[in-house]
A and B are shown apart, each in its own frame.
Chain A
Amino acid sequence: AQKVTQAQTEISVVEKEDVTLDCVYETRDTTYYLFWYKQPPSGELVFLIRRNSFDEQNEISGRYSWNFQKSTSSFNFTITASQVVDSAVYFCALSERGGATNKLIFGTGTLLAVQP
């Protein structure tokens, strides 16, 4: 069965702190895609990143970075120098069947609260 686990339900940090959101996944597919989405209070899920199972290179985009490790089935997300605008629920997701349908399985999300 395919599953995404985000063990951290809520994280609270003070502005400018670094924070890492954990994601562990389970799949039997050899080809799959992993995603992170952000859901601000407005409710709309915003795409952040997509990685395929063959690309374990870490990625950095501004203050955001992602660490993909197949050996531990993890795809962790780090925000450097957090800002109040980063406050949101963050979801990790896994595509089914090698991404053939773009259908995603989501974790339960991590609520990040960045205090000023």
Chain B
Amino acid sequence: DTGVSQDPRHKITKRGQNVTFRCDPISEHNRLYWYRQTLGQGPEFLTYFQNEAQLEKSRLLSDRFSAERPKGSFSTLEIQRTEQGDSAMYLCASSRLTGTGELFFGEGSRLTVL
């Protein structure tokens, strides 16, 4: 396993700009998750995919957020018209459909909105 990789690791942007994060899961994992983590808090669920289907979205995921997993492999998370409150670490995780239920996390993409 090469692990879950996320890109970019850090992104600094100005308020109102759009940003996109990419996640490459472990290759044989069917499920892919996006979480958001702010300072001093635990990760909060945003959305998850099973293969290419987006099966659940949190209420935290406003209309400015969109996630895709076009071919059931990598995923992108786009934030439009960023706000300062979007500053956080965006974590991607993947898991097998069956098995131990363990999520394998990437190192995250840190977003700073000025």
Contact = CB atoms under 8 A, between A and B. Distances in A.
Nearest to B107: A44
3 tightest Cβ-Cβ pairs between the two chains A and B: A106-B42, A45-B105, A44-B107
B108 interface: yes
B100 interface: yes
Interface string B95-114: 10000111111111010000
A103 B45 contact: yes
Contacts of A101: 31, 48, 55-56
Taking residues whose C-beta sits less than 8 angstroms from the other chain, chain B's interface range is 20 to 34
Contacts, number: 60
B33 A47 contact: no
A50 B100 contact: yes
Contacts of B28: none
Interface of A: 4, 9, 33, 35, 37, 42-47, 50, 91, 93, 95, 99, 101-109
B103 A47 contact: yes
A8 B15 CA distance: 35
A102 B31 contact: yes
Nearest to A108: B42
Given A43-B108, A44-B106, A102 B42 contact: no
Contacts of A50: 100-102
Interface in B18-52: 31, 33, 40-45, 48
Contact of A47 (B45, B89, B102, B108): B102
